[in-house]
Amino acid sequence: MLDKSIMLTSFFAFALALALSFGATPLVRRLAKKIGAVDVPKDGRRMHKVPIPRIGGLAIFGGFLVSTLIFVPLDGENKAILIGALLIVALGVVDDIVALKASVKLAGQLAAALIPAFSGVVIARFGNPFAAGEYINLGVFAIPVTVIWIVGMTNAVNFIDGLDGLACGVSSIACITMFTIAILLREPDITVLMAALAGGCLGFLPFNMNPAKIFMGDTGAMFLGYIFATVSVQGLFKFYAVISFAVPFIMLGLPIFDMLFAIVRRVLRGQSPMHADRGHLHHKLIDMGFDQKQSVAILYVLSLVLGMAAVILTASGETMVIFLVLAILISFLIGMTVMTHERRAAAEKEKKEQKEQEKERENTEERETDDE
């Protein structure tokens, strides 16, 4: 565990980022309306019915940046991560205003990923999942693999940003998970960084919950994915052989799975991997009969279970047992909730169909009577 001074620093970093993000969000909302950064519902994928301002990610980024500059030592790697984040946020703002081509966005993401990669933030090696105590050294592939990981995660959070409060809430849970793991692994810089990012997310979240007053947009989604990717490379992938392979994938399991599933689905249909569709996990839940708030709550709990599973891999003894029991209980509750809702929805659908059939039968009988 870390000493009390780091925990106190983390608290102040969290509180400052939260206050700045919360205070800045209404200002960013007004700015978005002025510059035309507004999401207009123009297809079936979108769940909102009225135009909503975006670029809310600026508030998250602002709170995080100020807090980080004050509380986190800026060595070469941390500076590179922040410079790359500035580029990602700038790219996101432009995209939220004028809708950039996918190729232009990818070029910008690659450029942002290369900044930390050439500054030492690389996946040089990781633990072999099939042989305890052994490493897989990447050698000349270290930078390409790192860049793929960063670009992939930069887009992954964006893929789940489809319901009010979903991406921001899932990101908040991921922040808390990484914060907990950093404490267990005695990583002071990552602990404070994640505290600041959690504060930025939670300060923005009240404005983003259903019905949303503002969206984080690509500005926020790409920034969050980028930070998760670079910080996981800086900490989990680089130093801890036993858990380095699995933890980042479990912790960020929801956005990673949704992104990979979307890519496979689109490629099999002969579409571009970046082609937007209505096949994401949150869309599936809506189609099952859940409303927005219920769908978001289910995905929050799923993210929490995955986060607890990631913490379990880094914990030991009594801590592991506690987290394992909690994860099992939460998983059971999710399953029961979904099953109950499905049965209720099926019963209501059947009842509705019966009423329609009865009404149609009555109308038929009336017409036959009139004919006679």
Closest CA to 168 of 212, 210, 202, 196: 202
- Please indicate whether residue 199 or residue 292 has the higher confidence score (pLDDT): 199
- pLDDT value at position 245? 54
Within its chain, how far is the Cα of 336 from the centroid? 25
Query: Among the listed ranges 98-112, 134-148, 167-181, 348-362, which one has the minimum average pLDDT value?
Result: 348-362
Asked if 178 contacts 195 with a C-beta cutoff of 8 angstroms, the reply is no
Compute the average pLDDT of residues 13-42: 92
- pLDDT value at position 84? 96
- pLDDT value at position 241? 44
Residue 128 pairs in a beta bridge with: none
Pairing of strands 52-53, 125-127: unpaired
Using CA atoms, how far apart are residues 181 and 312, in angstroms rounded to an integer? 9
Compute the average pLDDT of residues 133-143: 80
For 12, 51, 64, 88, 193, the CA distances from 68, given in Å and listed in that order, are 11, 33, 6, 17, 6
What DSSP state is assigned to residue 139? G
- pLDDT value at position 242? 46
The percentage of residues in the chain with a pLDDT greater than 90, rounded to a whole number, is: 34
Compute the average pLDDT of residues 191-200: 95
User: pLDDT at residue 95 above 70?
Assistant: yes
Asked if 341 contacts 294 with a C-beta cutoff of 8 angstroms, the reply is yes
What DSSP state is assigned to residue 53? E
Using CA atoms, how far apart are residues 101 and 99, in angstroms rounded to an integer? 7
Residue 127 pairs in a beta bridge with: 135
Asked if 217 contacts 35 with a C-beta cutoff of 8 angstroms, the reply is no
Residue 125 pairs in a beta bridge with: 137
Using CA atoms, how far apart are residues 234 and 188, in angstroms rounded to an integer? 12
User: pLDDT at residue 346 above 80?
Assistant: no
User: pLDDT at residue 246 above 70?
Assistant: no
Q: Which two three-digit tokens encode residue 352?
A: 């509705």
Compute the average pLDDT of residues 135-144: 84
pLDDT digits (tens, 9 = 90+) for 48-63: 567 889 899 999 999 9
Q: Which element (helix H / strand E) includes 178? A: helix 166-184
For 179, 262, 320, 336, 341, the CA distances from 168, given in Å and listed in that order, are 16, 20, 27, 26, 25
Binning pLDDT at 50, 70 and 90, where does residue 368 land? low
Q: Is 123 helix (H, G, I), strand (E, B) or coil?
A: coil
Which residues, in sequence order, are CB contacts of 275 under 8 Å at separation 6+?
266
- Please indicate whether residue 140 or residue 131 has the higher confidence score (pLDDT): 140
Query: Among the listed ranges 22-31, 115-124, 283-292, which one has the minimum average pLDDT value?
Result: 283-292
Query: Among the listed ranges 7-16, 25-34, 180-189, 230-239, which one has the minimum average pLDDT value?
Result: 230-239
Residue ranges of domains in the chain? 4-277
Which residues, in sequence order, are CB contacts of 234 under 8 Å at separation 6+?
77, 81, 121, 189, 190
User: pLDDT at residue 279 above 50?
Assistant: yes
Which residues, in sequence order, are CB contacts of 63 under 8 Å at separation 6+?
16, 17, 18, 19, 20, 21, 22, 24, 196, 199, 200, 203
pLDDT digits (tens, 9 = 90+) for 146-177: 999 999 989 888 877 777 888 899 999 999 98
User: pLDDT at residue 116 above 70?
Assistant: yes
Within its chain, how far is the Cα of 82 from the centroid? 19
